[in-house]
């Protein structure tokens, strides 16, 4: 978190997502080299999906926004953590209030179980 605070202090704000419709409720994790920012997003439909973006410790966007969960209905209350060598993104599926998770690699690979 200190890296992000230092960057904001030195560089100011910067855009992470500029696509259509709404994006909200971001969460951030840091792996020691870069951040993974995740958020709720309805760019594809009226349903809420989970999208992500890698950001360097200097505030540069790495590649483009990518989908983490694009499913029917609403995925909400997203959070992200980093451990060992992968990120874990978790959210609530509103249809049955179940909790879901997705492993994301350092390179952005979405693991399918």
Residue ranges of the domains in the chain? 2-105
Let me know the angle formed at the C-alpha of 63 by 60 and 67, rounded to the nearest 5 degrees: 120
**What pLDDT does 3 receive?**
47
pLDDT of the chain along its 113 residues, tens only? 444 444 445 567 888 998 888 999 999 999 999 999 999 999 988 889 999 999 999 999 999 999 999 988 899 999 999 999 999 999 999 999 999 999 999 999 998 76
**What pLDDT does 10 receive?**
55
Eight-state DSSP code of residue 30:
E
Indicate the pTM of the whole model: 0.87
In our burial notation (b when 16+ CB lie closer than 10 A, e otherwise), range 69-78 reads beeeebbeeb
3-state DSSP assignment of residue 2: helix
């Amino acid at each position: 978190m200190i890296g992000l605070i230092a960057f904001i202090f030195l560089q100011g704000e910067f855009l992470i997502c500029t696509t259509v419709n709404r994006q909200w409720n971001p969460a951030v994790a840091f792996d020691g080299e870069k951040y993974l920012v995740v958020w709720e997003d309805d760019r594809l439909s009226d349903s809420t999906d989970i999208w992500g973006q890698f950001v360097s410790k200097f505030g540069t966007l790495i590649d483009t926004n990518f989908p983490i969960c694009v499913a029917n209905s609403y995925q909400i209350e997203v959070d992200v953590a980093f451990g060992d060598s992968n990120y874990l993104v978790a959210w609530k599926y509103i249809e049955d209030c179940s909790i879901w998770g997705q492993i994301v690699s350092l390179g952005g690979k979405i693991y399918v179980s």
